[in-house]
Amino acid sequence: MTVIATRPYAMVDGNEAAARIAHLLSEVIAIYPITPASPMGELADAWSHAGKPNLWGVVPDVVEMQSEAGAAGAIHGSLSAGALSTSFTASQGLLLMLPNMYKIAGELTPAVIHVAARTVATHALSIFGDHSDVMGARQTGFALLASASVQEAQDMALISHLATLESRVPFLHFFDGFRTSHEISKIELIEEETIRGLIDEDLIAAHRRRALNPSNPSLRGTAQNPDVFFQAREASNPFYDSVPGVVARVMDLVAEETGRRYRLFDYDGAPDAETVVVVMGSGSGAVGEAVEELNRRGGKVGVVTVRLYRPFDVNAFVDVLPETVRRVVALDRTKEPGAVGEPLYQDVVAALAEAGVRADVIGGRYGLSSKEFTPAMAAAVFEEAALPHPRRHFTVGIRDDVSGLSLDFDPDWWSEPADVVRAVFYGLGSDGTVGANKNSVKIIGESTDLYAQGYFVYDSKKSGSRTVSHLRVSPRPIESTYLIDDADFVAVHQFDLLESLDALEICRPGGTVLLNTPYRGERLWDALPVEAQRHILDKELAVWAVDAAGIAREAGLGGRVNTVLQTCFFHLTDFRSSEDGVAAIKSYIQKSYGPRGQAVVRRNEEAVDNAIAAMFAVTPGEADGARRIADPVPAVAPDFVKRVTGAMLAGKGDLLPVSALPVDGTFPTGTARWEKRSIATEIPIWDPELCIDCGRCALVCPHAAILFKAFPSDTTVPEGFAWKEPTGKDLRGMRVVIQVAPDDCTGCGVCVEVCPAKSKEVARHKAINMQPKGEHLERERRNFSYFLEIPDMDRSQVNAQSVKGSQLLRPLFEFSGACAGCGETPYLKLITQMMGDRMIVANATGCSSIYGGNLPTTPWTTDDAGRGPAWSNSLFEDNAEFGLGMRLALEAQRQDALLLVTALAPELGSVAMEILDLFEGDDASSGDELVVRQRDLVSRLREQLAGLQGPLPRRLEGVADSLVERSVWIVGGDGWAYDIGFGGLDHVLASGRDINILVLDTEVYSNTGGQASKSTPRAAIAKFAAGGKATGKKDLGQIAMSYGNVYVGQVAMGANPTQTVKTLAEAEAHRGVSLVIAYSPCIAHGFDMTHQLDHQKAATDSGYWPLYRYDPAREVSGEPGLKLDSKKPTIPFKQFAATETRFAMLGRVDPTGADRLMQKAQQDIDDRWSLYEQMVDVHRTAEYVEVEE
Amino acid sequence: MTVDLRTSYLGLDLDHPVIPSASPLTGDVDHILALVEAGAPAVVLPSLFEEQIDHDAMAVHYSLEMGSDGFGEAAEGFFPQLDDYNTGPEDYIDLIKRAKAEVPVPVIASLNGVSTGGWTMYSEILADQGIDALELNVYRLAADMRQTSEVVEKSYVDLVEKVKKSVGLPLAVKVGPYFSSIPDMARRLCDAGADALVMFNRFYQPDIDLETLDVIPNLVLSDPVELRLVLRWLAIMHGRIDCDMAATSGVHEATDAVKALLAGATVTMMASALLRHGPSRLTEVRDGIRSWLGDHGYESVSQARGSLSYATAPNPEVFERAGYMKTLKSYVPTW
C-alpha cells in the first residue's frame, strides 16, 4: 500500500474537528460539560493548558462555568466587551443557553456555538443524537449551519466563524451527536495559514469597535416599550437577508482554498429526478448511498442536503431542485408533537409554496436518539414517495403498530461495496478494545492512502460494560453513517461474551473471525455455543484464536488485551504488511503511551511481539455443542420484563414495536434483578466459622450483592446452605446468613476489605474471601435462590437505625450498573434499607440517574409487600426544586385528605377520630412505628370508604395514601449541588419544608468523565483543571448551616459507618430540610476502588473530610448545634493525597506548583478544622421552629 | 603531626575516605552542598529505582485507562491527557544535572534495576549525564523456591559484565551479605568489571502490625553494631580481590570509620548518622579519623588501611568461625 506523503490528513472525530477550528479562532471559550459535546470543551481546555495559541498567538482563555446558562452569559459578556468568543454544548445545555442566544442575536453579535446535536429529554433522557435541541433554537435569531460528516464538522466550523464576522449574525454550527461527534474519520485538515488567509481582520476590528468601551461609551440592553420595540426588532432584517449570500460567498472562498465545495443546499442525484429527499446532518450519507443505488437501478431520485437551515434561503433551495421534481420528502430528525409537520417539513412546504413550485411534499421522522438510519430505510422512503398516494406523514426505522405511521423496509435491500472492508469488534470497556480500535483506524488512515472510519457503541452500564467497535476501511471517503451489519471480520475480545451474544451473526459468509480464548483444540470448539458453531460451519468462516489474556497478563498488562488483538487484526487483514503493521502499532504505542512512561511502552511492545506467534487457526468440529446462548431473562420474570426488557437485553430493542413501550415514560421498578450479568471473575465466599455478623460487608457492597438475613432457628434449610448462630443476643432464636448474589457481584472486593474477622491460623483468610467464581457459582446460585425465599425481616424486630439492624433489612436498591466499587451506591442502598418502603426520590441527572434509571434494567425495587422507592429524574439543574415540588404535592394531598376525613367523620366512625388525633394531636411517634400505625389507619379508612357513596369518599380514596409518612429524598452529585443546581438547592434549603437532601460528593462531574466542579478540592487534577485546581472546595455544609434550621450532616461510610447511619436517621427525623453530604470515592480519584474504605478513613483522619452533624433541634435545648464526629487530624493531608492519582499526578507533572497547592490545601484543612472547633462552642439564640405542614 | 587522609576510590582522588552514601539527604542539591561544606569529598546520589519508575508509569497508565472507552459519556477517561507525566528518570536526571553544575566534588549516581535491559538502559542514561562514577545497588530476593543460588549469582555477574560493557565509567557494586560465599562472589564481581564493592546494602524489611495483623514494609536507620558484619568481610577480603571496598552500614562515629579502614575499607560511607545528626557529623568523623590516626602514630590513611585485616591481624581466626565460639564462651549472663 502506498504510504502518503505530505497531504494534511488527520484521523479525528467530529468534536475534535470542530473544536480545533473554534480554538484557533477564539479568545474566550466558556464551557460546561455535557454529553456528547464535552470533548470539545476538554480539548480546548487541554490545548490552552498546554499553551497552544489561537491564530493570533494568544492562548484562548477557557473558563468552565456553573452551567450552560452561565457559559452563554459569559460569552455574551465577552462578546459585548469585544472578544472573539465561543462555546460548545448539546441538548439541555443548548436549551439553557436560549435566553442568552436571543440576546446575542438581537444585538447582532458575531459568535459561534458548536453543538453536538443531542436529544432533548422528554419522556426519558437520552444522551444520543437527534435535532430536537437545535430545532429548539431555530427561533433565537442564530443562523443554523449543519454538518453531515467529520470533514464537514471542520469545514462548516470554519465557515461559521468566517460568516458570523461578516454578517454579524451569530451562528449555531451543529453536527449529529455521537454519529459525527464521536466518529473517527479521515479528514483533510485546513492548515492555519489557509485560515489566516481567509480571515478579514477588518471585520474583527469592527467587532472590537462595537464593543463596550468607556473611551467611547454606549449603552446596550435597554428596556423598550410598545412605541419602538417592534420597529427596532425589524431593523435587523437586512443583516438576516444578507446571511445566505455571505455564507455562500464564504463557502466559495473555502472551496477555492480546499477544493471542497459546499452550497447552502447541496443536491446529489439524477438531474431529472422526480423524487427528492431533503435531509440535514449525517443522515444525508445514508440517503446519498440509497440515491446512488436507486439511480443505478434505473430510478430518478435525488437528495438535497441542507447546510444553512436558518436563515432559510427559499431561492437557493428551489434552485437546486431539478425542474422535474414531482414529490419532495422532508426528513426530520426531531419530533414536534401537535405540529402540522416537523420543522424542516414545514420549511420545505412553505418554501415551495412561496416559490410557486408545484411539487407534493410529504414528511417523515427518522433517527430519534441515534436510531439507526440506513440506505435501506432511505430506500423505503423513496418507495413510499413513489406511491400515488403516499402517507403525508410517516416514520422510518421503527415499527409503529400504534399510529401506523412507520414504513416497512427491507434490511437486505442494501449491501455495502465489496471493496469496503468492514470489521466489528466485541469487547469490554475494561479491556481496551475501543482504544485499540481507535488506534487501528488512525494507523490505517494516517499511514496509507486508504480512508478509515471508526464508530463505537457502548452499553448503559458503568461496570462490565460491553463495547462494539465498527471499523470501515475504503479506497474512497466513507459516507456510511450507520452501523455495520455485514462484517468481513469479527473479533470477540472476551470469549464469555459468546455465551450471551450472537456475535458471529454479523459476519458475512466466508468472513474471518478472531477469538480471544484460553482454550485450544477440541476444548475450544466445545466451549463455543452451538449458535456460534453453526455460524462458523454454515458460513464457512475462517476462525483464528489467541490467548490474548494470557499474553497480556505475562506482559504485566492485567486485562488489557488490546494491543495483542490489534496485532492479530493487522496480521489477518492486509491493510499493511504484517511487519509493517507491527511497526505501525509500536509507533502508535510509543505515541499514545510514551508520555506515561517507557514501562508502559515496553510491556505493550512485548505483548505485540508475542501476539502473532501465539495465534492459531481453529479447526471446526460438528455443530453439536451442549452450550447455547442463554435467554436474556428467566422464564419466571414478569411479562413486561420478558417481552420488553428481555428484548433490550438481547440487543433486539430496535425490533420492539411502539406498542411495547409505555406511553409516558413510566416503567416498573425492580427490573435489575432479572438481568444476570455475571461479570465478576471472583466472588466473595462466606466462612460462617469466622463471621461475627457485624453486617459491614453488606453495608459497603455497592451492588447489594452481599446480603444479610436472619431466620428462625427451626427453619429447615437445603443442604449446602451455610448459616451460623448469631453472635449477639439481639437475634436469639434465629440463625443468620451472609449470602452472595453470585451473578450480580462485580467482584470489586470492597466487602472483603471491610471484613474485620480474620482467621487465627491464616491471617489473610477472613470471614468473607474472594474466590474464583467458577468454583462456587452453581452452589451459590442455589443458595442465593433459597436465600430469596427466606422472608424479609419484620422491621419492628430490628433496629433500622443501627449498622447491623439496617443490614438485616432488604435493600430496595440492588444490582445497579454502577462502577465496580462505586462509592455512591452504598449510601443509596442504606437509605432504602432504613426507609425505602416510604421513599420518593428526586434524582438529579448524573451518575446516580444513569445507574439508577438507565434502561434496560433499573435497580430501585420493592419489598415483600410490594412497597419501595418511587423514583424520578427531571433534569440536572432543577432537582432540588423537583423534589420540593413532590413534598408540596404530598402536603397538599394530606391537607385535602384531612379535610375530607373531617367532613366524612360522621360516616367514617372511629377511624376518622383516630386519624385526626394522630395528625392533630401530640403524638410523638416517628419512623417505622408511626408508619405502621398510619398504614393500618389508611387500610381501615379504605375499608370504610368502600362502603360509602358519593364524590367525597372517592376523592378521599385518591388522597388517602398521603396520610402515610413519605420520606422525600433529593439525590444528586456535586455537579448538581455545588454548581448547576446550587441556586435551586439554596432556595430549597431555605424553604423549611420536610425534605432530605443527599449529596453524593465525588468532587468531580463523574458521569461526564471527571470535569472539575466547585466541590473539587484544591490541588486535585481534573478535566478543566489540568494544572491542579487552584481554588479551594466550597463548604456546602457551612452554607446550609448558616440558615440555622437546616439539619446538616457530613458522612463517610468508610470512616465511620455508625455515624453515617445515625446521620441518615436524624436527617429523616428532622422536621425540616436536611442535607447529608456523603463522601463518595470514585474512579475519577484514581485508585483501586477495592480500597475505597481505607481512602475514606484516611480522608477523615487527615481532616480533609471531617465528620459532623449540625442539628438545629439541639440548639432548642441549649446545646451547640454542631457536633464533630471525627477526631482532630492525625495524619497530614499529603499522606492521604499521595495515595490518589488526582493529587499525586500534579506532583509528577508540576512538582513546584504541586508543593504550593498542597501547602494551601493543608491550610484549607487547618483553617476549616479550626473554624469547626470554634463553631462547636457556638450557641445560637434564635429559636428553632419546626415547620408546620 | 599531620595525617594524610587522601584516598583514591573508583579512580577518583578524594581528600579523605568519608563519603555520604545514597540517602534522601543526597537527593537534594542544597543538602548535598551542605554536605560538601561539611567536607564531603564525593557524594553518592540516592538510587534510581527502575521498579519505582515502572510502577509509577503503570500507575499513571492504569489511572488514565480506568473507566475510559467503556462508557459513552466518559469515553475519554477521567483525567486530562497531558503531554508528559514525568514518570521516567527525568527528575533524577535533573538532580544529576544540578549536582554536576553546582557541586564541586565527584558525583556518583546509584542505580537499582530490575530487568537486564533496564540496568543497561538506565546506566547509559545516567552515564550520558556526566556522572563521575556509577554505583549499582543490586539486590535480588530469591523468593522462588526453585531458583538456585547459582542462577542468582550468575545473574549478578552477568549484570555487572553487561553494564561495564555498555558504560565505560568506574563501577561500584553494592551488594548484600547473604551469599553462601561472599569472597567468591566478590571475586567474580570484580572479574566481571566492578571497580569497587560497597558492603552492604540495606533493604526494606517487613514488619508485622499487631493491631491490624498486616505485614508492613519498614526501614529503620542503621545501628553501629551492623558494622561488625562489614568489618569481617572487609578484613577477609582485603588484599585478596582486585577491587576497592567501601564500608557502609553502621558507620556512625569516627571510631567506626577507623575500624573499617583498619579492616581494609578503601572508603567509608555514611547515611543514617548524617540523617540523624546532620552534615556536621561528617566533619566530626573526618576529624576524628585524623585525630585517632595521629594519636596512634599513623602517617596516612593508606598506612592504616587493612592493617587489621585477615592477612595482617595478629589473631585472624577471630574473623572466622572460631570467633563465634569465642564470643559465646566469653558471654557471661547477667542474672
Q: What is the mean pLDDT of residues A206-221?
A: 96
Query: Cα separation of A498 and A757, whole Å?
Result: 39
What is the CB neighbour count within 10 angstroms for residue A710?
A: 20
What is the CB neighbour count within 10 angstroms for residue B45?
A: 24
What amino acid occupies position A650? Answer: A
Of the candidates B58, B60, B73, the beta carbon closest to that of A1145 is on B60
pLDDT band at A226 (very low <50, low <70, confident <90, very high): very high
Contact A486, A506 (CB under 8 A): yes
Cis peptide before B319 (omega within 30 of 0): no
Classify A767 as helix, strand or coil: coil
Residue A1189 among the catalytic residues: no
pLDDT digits (tens, 9 = 90+) for A775-821: 999 999 999 999 999 999 888 889 999 999 999 999 999 999 999 99
pLDDT band at A730 (very low <50, low <70, confident <90, very high): confident
Query: Cα separation of B47 and B27, whole Å?
Result: 9
Chain-chain contact of A38 with B72 (C-beta, under 8 angstroms): no
Query: Cα separation of A645 and A649, whole Å?
Result: 6
The pLDDT of residue A1183 is: 57
Of the candidates A560, A1083, A1087, the beta carbon closest to that of B67 is on A1083
pLDDT of A1186 higher than 80: no
Query: Cα separation of A954 and A974, whole Å?
Result: 43
Nearest Cα to A158, choosing from A112, A204, A101?
Answer: A112
Task: Single out the catalytic residue among A35, A395, A439, A845.
Answer: A35
Distance from CA of B74 to the nearest CA of A (A): 4
pLDDT band at A1117 (very low <50, low <70, confident <90, very high): confident
| Residue A1091 grid cell | 480500597
pLDDT of A587 higher than 70: yes
pLDDT digits (tens, 9 = 90+) for A533-557: 999 999 999 999 999 999 999 999 9
Q: What are phi and psi of B236, to 5 degrees?
A: -65, -35
pLDDT digits (tens, 9 = 90+) for A22-54: 999 999 999 999 999 999 999 999 999 999 999
The pLDDT of residue B142 is: 85
Contact A859, A851 (CB under 8 A): yes
The pLDDT of residue B316 is: 83
Residue A118 among the catalytic residues: yes
Chain-chain contact of B70 with A556 (C-beta, under 8 angstroms): no
Instruction: Please enumerate residues of B whose Cβ is less than 8 A from a Cβ of A.
Output: 53-88, 91, 117, 213
Chain-chain contact of B75 with A182 (C-beta, under 8 angstroms): yes
Chosen from B49, B71, B122, B216 to mutate, greatest number of chain A CBs within 10 A: B71
The pLDDT of residue A720 is: 94
Contact A984, A1022 (CB under 8 A): no
pLDDT band at A3 (very low <50, low <70, confident <90, very high): very low
Distance from CA of B50 to the nearest CA of A (A): 9
The pLDDT of residue B330 is: 52
The pLDDT of residue A837 is: 96
A301 conformational bin, left if phi > 0, alpha if psi -120 to 50, beta if neither: beta
Nearest Cα to A564, choosing from A608, A516, A626, A620?
Answer: A608
The pLDDT of residue A1182 is: 62
ipTM score of complex: 0.90
Residues of B in Cβ contact (< 8 Å) with A46: 80-82
Chosen from B61, B84, B90, B122 to mutate, greatest number of chain A CBs within 10 A: B61
pLDDT of A858 higher than 80: yes
Average pLDDT, chain A: 95
Of the candidates B70, B83, B86, the beta carbon closest to that of A429 is on B70
Task: Single out the catalytic residue among A68, A479, A1003, A1068.
Answer: A68
A367 conformational bin, left if phi > 0, alpha if psi -120 to 50, beta if neither: left
Of the candidates B69, B78, B213, the beta carbon closest to that of A1084 is on B78
Nearest Cα to B203, choosing from B225, B186, B226?
Answer: B226
Distance from CA of B96 to the nearest CA of A (A): 17
Where is average pLDDT lowest: A360-374, A832-846, A1144-1158?
A: A1144-1158
Nearest Cα to B115, choosing from B30, B32, B53?
Answer: B53
Q: What is the mean pLDDT of residues A768-781?
A: 96
The pLDDT of residue A1184 is: 55
Burial A360-391 (b: 16+ CB within 10 A, else e): bbbbbbbbbbbbbbbbbbbbbbbbbbbeeebb
| Residue A434 grid cell | 475501543
Q: What is the mean pLDDT of residues A237-257?
A: 98
pLDDT band at A1189 (very low <50, low <70, confident <90, very high): very low
The pLDDT of residue A942 is: 97
Chain-chain contact of B79 with A462 (C-beta, under 8 angstroms): no
Q: Which residues of chain B have pLDDT under 70?
A: 1, 321-335
Determine whether A184 is exposed, middle or buried from the number of CB atoms within 10 Å of its CB (0-12, 13-18, 19+): buried
pLDDT of A185 higher than 90: yes
Chain B nearest-CA residue for A1082 = B78
The pLDDT of residue B60 is: 87
Chain-chain contact of B70 with A595 (C-beta, under 8 angstroms): no
The pLDDT of residue B117 is: 83
Of the candidates B58, B78, B117, the beta carbon closest to that of A1009 is on B78
pLDDT digits (tens, 9 = 90+) for A557-568: 988 999 999 999
DSSP A795: G
Contacts of A1180 (CB under 8 A, 6+ apart): A1044, A1115, A1121
Query: Cα separation of B287 and B276, whole Å?
Result: 19
Percent of chain A with pLDDT over 90: 92
Q: What is the mean pLDDT of residues A1139-1148?
A: 91
Nearest Cα to A511, choosing from A494, A527, A491, A526?
Answer: A491
pLDDT of A1158 higher than 80: yes
Contacts of A1143 (CB under 8 A, 6+ apart): A1019, A1020, A1021, A1137, A1158
The pLDDT of residue A1142 is: 95
Chosen from A855, A1011, A1097, A1145 to mutate, greatest number of chain B CBs within 10 A: A1145
Distance from CA of B98 to the nearest CA of A (A): 16
Torsion of CA B124, B125, B126, B127, to 10 degrees: 40
pLDDT digits (tens, 9 = 90+) for A61-92: 999 999 999 999 999 999 999 999 999 999 99
Percent of chain A with pLDDT over 70: 98
Q: What is the pTM of this model?
A: 0.94
Nearest Cα to B285, choosing from B38, B8, B1?
Answer: B38
| Residue A744 grid cell | 450480580
Contact A374, A486 (CB under 8 A): no
Q: What is the mean pLDDT of residues A865-893?
A: 97
pLDDT of A235 higher than 50: yes
